[in-house]
Structure formats: structure tokens, C-alpha cells
Amino acid sequence: MEENLMFSIILGYIAILSAMAMAMMKIDKRQAQHHGQRIPEKNLWIIAIVGGGIGAYLGMMLFRHKTKHTNFRIGFLVLAMLDVAIIGWSYQNF
């Protein structure tokens, strides 16, 4: 029981941060199109680094936002892969 709880917490944490990261990518894309106030790149990186890598990468690809920036393409992909690895590790160990 406790093992499933820990895995669920980790999965939920990454899912919530990924949803937030994806929403931030969508909002920033819309703001860029309408010349509105943008979300600082630092904030996009922070949410991706602390567990939202999957959502940041998927949002970047889905909304075609920041795709011309090599550091975002590679960095968000690496962070997404790290998040997937953490999920896999926690599934096997918890």
C-alpha cells in the first residue's frame, strides 16, 4: 500500500507540474502572437527543471513555441526524458 502511495505521489507531482508547464507554453505563445506580456524564459526553465519537463517539451512541440531555440529543444527533451526515467524508477522501486 505505501509503495503505491509513493509512486502515486511522484506521478501526480510530475503530472501537475507538466500540466502547468504546458499551460505556460500555451499562454506564452498566445502572448507572443498578440504582443502581450510574456512569461520570462527563466520561469519556463524553472517549471521544467523541477518536474515539468514532459509538459514543457510537449507544449513546445504542440504549440510550436520556442522550437527554433536549440537550447529549449534539447534542454526540454532531456528534462522530459529525465522525468520519464524518474517515473520508471519510482514504479520499479516503490
Identify the burial level of 92 via C-beta atoms within 10 angstroms of its C-beta, where 0-12 means exposed, 13-18 middle and 19 or more buried: exposed
Per residue in 39-75, pLDDT (tens digit) is 999 999 999 999 999 999 999 999 999 999 999 999 9
Cα distance between residue 69 and residue 65, in whole Å:
9
Q: Between residues 3 and 66, which one has the greater pLDDT?
A: 66
Write phi, then psi, for 38 (nearest 5 degrees).
Answer: -90, 160
pTM of the model as a whole: 0.93
How confident is the model at residue 11, as a pLDDT?
Answer: 97
Write phi, then psi, for 68 (nearest 5 degrees).
Answer: -85, -10
The band of 94, judged by pLDDT with boundaries at 50, 70 and 90, is confident
Tell me if 18 sits within 8 A of 58, measured CB to CB.
yes
How confident is the model at residue 29, as a pLDDT?
Answer: 97
Mean pLDDT of 21-50: 98
